[in-house]
Structure 1
């Protein structure tokens, strides 16, 4: 996967420790992880997400055209209303996750680092006779996340996605450092990840693999409209929804806190009395109130009251996200 090469200038802020993995290029934390989590929960500070891809779509047909390609109903999307959507393969597997808002003239989309190029290539291949223009705007705009309850200003003419989880602001890159000084203090991606896991929200590339379908992750409630017209992969969505039997399900885990290290992405899970793997941990974090927590994707028929064990011996208890 191609990655955008920008290294955030905010990594020069005092205490910044660079993130690794999918969040490489921005800060993982600024020296006090739990303080940063509490600040986010209290509605203060900002998270630098300038490593994410930004795509803009313009033209009079943009919403009706996107409506044909995405899992979400966007043909009548009102200006300023945020939504999520997926692009699926012909077999219904998740290929892209889009976080979008329309301002009345432009649809603004941010996506996982390294995925913008492939998504734009797909969108360009589907333009046909529609009056739309698709642009990779990552060089011009950066994403900054403000937590729910933030009173930070939004300058005139800027666009933001406002949801129950906060506000994603599309900031002109040449104004990123100035804006950061106005809306500080800075908060790293590890704090945002801990709150994402607490909120049971899946993330492309962590909770997904090449065979993931939306039903397994609970994305039917936020990113898929079950009553809209045809789009690629819709047959799988309808069939599995009607049968009610996705092969796997997302769960929230409370981890045993006695281990020094957290089980990382891809760590196998098994039942306490069985050596056979029944799933994997997809994301984990240390939460300022809940302690060590994780998301995992496991076999659908795994008993909901079963104690699970991660490789290394970490015990985990489940909370249901997707009903078995």
Structure 2
């Protein structure tokens, strides 16, 4: 009996050792990041810039998979329904996480994920035509009050972050804005130039590239940018509007602790890599990183804020 007990103990110890070795082996194969937009866009470019340094940190290859559709929801949903083993992540943007859940029923919610890191945060700005008769938010507000309902705001989609920025401005200033849905910055720029729209919210790099035709009224983040020192923040002008276009890595709920720790470290290493920082400089975009705990708190705060703004505007889940 004694010998049998020893043999069973040895087998149990062997199983535990194998289990521990398996847990420590992560990752022993490539890790896939699902990008919820087509190749070539900002989210895709940023994710691909993370591939090599993150893979080097993890000791494996990073595979980027593009799953576009439904404004980013399809790719984020794919990330939510995969196995929670750390081998499939999604680069989840602000819209699919914090605005679209308030407008329609989705196959996931905030509790569907474990949060790995904030990977990028692109500053945006209020942009108007170069010849517009206002140069500050206060002057635009005065114009809007003098001509109620005349100002048209071009937005990528109802419920998008540019739309949320417009709702925040209208609520704080007590003005009315008309919204014109357009398919991206290009059509918004065209609408601005032909007079169909009066204001829109692009990435700040758009201002530098088109400074002969557009001007910025305010950057929509708490601090000025070093490369645009003369562009004041909305907060400086009395309007505390902070609406960056951000995204971060999420995994299905139930991610093993060992995998989460390594993935967080991999994401941090990627955002600290010289090649990644050069891309951020080229995009006129500060490097942004949060660990999983901070990122989850940020997502939940943004979710609550955006729900309130959308509901105040009469927009809610059908």
The two structures have a TM-score, normalised by structure 1, of 0.30
Could you say which structure has the higher strand fraction? 1
Bigger relative contact order (CA 8 A; separation at least 6): 2
